[in-house]
Amino acid sequence: MTAPSDTAPERLPDLVSDVASEPEPAPIPVEVTVNGDPRALSVEARRSLADVLNRALGLPGTQVGCELGACGTCTVLVNGEPARACLMLAVQADGTEVETVESLARDGRLNALQKAFSEKYALQCGFCTPGFLMLATALLRKEPDASRERIRESVSANLCRCGGYSQIIDAIESVATAGADATAGDAIPGDAVPRDATPGAEPTTAAEPTPGTDARS
């Protein structure tokens, strides 16, 4: 066995010191409209949109699940389009309009879609619910009378760990069957207070389903 050397490498501590002494990148200014409110922020380039929504803006409704963009738990609407907030960097949201689950209720009262989720038992642990609500909101804005098959296709983009897909589909279908109009600027029937239009938001379709994650009806 070789005896330990009396001359240990000294460069490693120097490298650690060099890295530690490097200045942090300067925060990047970002202007984004969140749930109708213009916000001016300074964020690090590495921070995700989900992290900024949760920590900087105090909006905990956007849950973070897999952090790989696979489960859809963190789904928000960016310029009306469903987006994975765990994958999108906050700096990429500069100049956009972001809607989170907090935008759905008004004055503490649930809108029609939220009520339907409650009445149809479309949530168990509730962790994935915000993502499904935002996905359904985007779908119903574009297709207020969406068929069950279309709803099933849309929600297959997100994962429910409790397996409650049938109830989720039932809830969305009940709103569509009632003739709800979820386009920006119009009230969904059942809302306690009409929802104001988010400036510039255009009706869009929901995200296409992720292969291999098809929902069960």
What pLDDT score was predicted for residue 10? 59
In a domain, 65, yes or no: yes
The pLDDT of residue 19 is above 80: no
Q: Which domain holds residue 42?
A: 28-102
In a domain, 94, yes or no: yes
Nearest to 189 by CA among 154, 149, 145: 145
Which CATH number covers residue 87? 3.10.20.30
How far is Cα 45 from Cα 96, in angstroms, rounded to an integer?
16
The pLDDT of residue 101 is above 90: yes
- Rounded to the nearest 5 degrees, what angle is found at the Cα of 113, between the Cα atoms of 107 and 117? 110
In a domain, 209, yes or no: no
- Please give the single-letter amino acid code of residue 187: A
In a domain, 96, yes or no: yes
pLDDT in tens, 125-180: 999 999 999 999 999 999 999 999 999 999 999 999 999 999 999 999 999 998 75
Give the dihedral sign, CA 190/171/169/209: positive
Residue range 103-122: average pLDDT?
94
Total domains, the chain: 1
Neighbouring C-beta atoms of residue 155, cutoff 10 Å? 27
In a domain, 216, yes or no: no
Question: Are 39 and 57 contacting, i.e. CB atoms less than 8 angstroms apart?
Answer: yes
How far is Cα 130 from Cα 76, in angstroms, rounded to an integer?
8
% residues pLDDT > 90 (the chain): 66
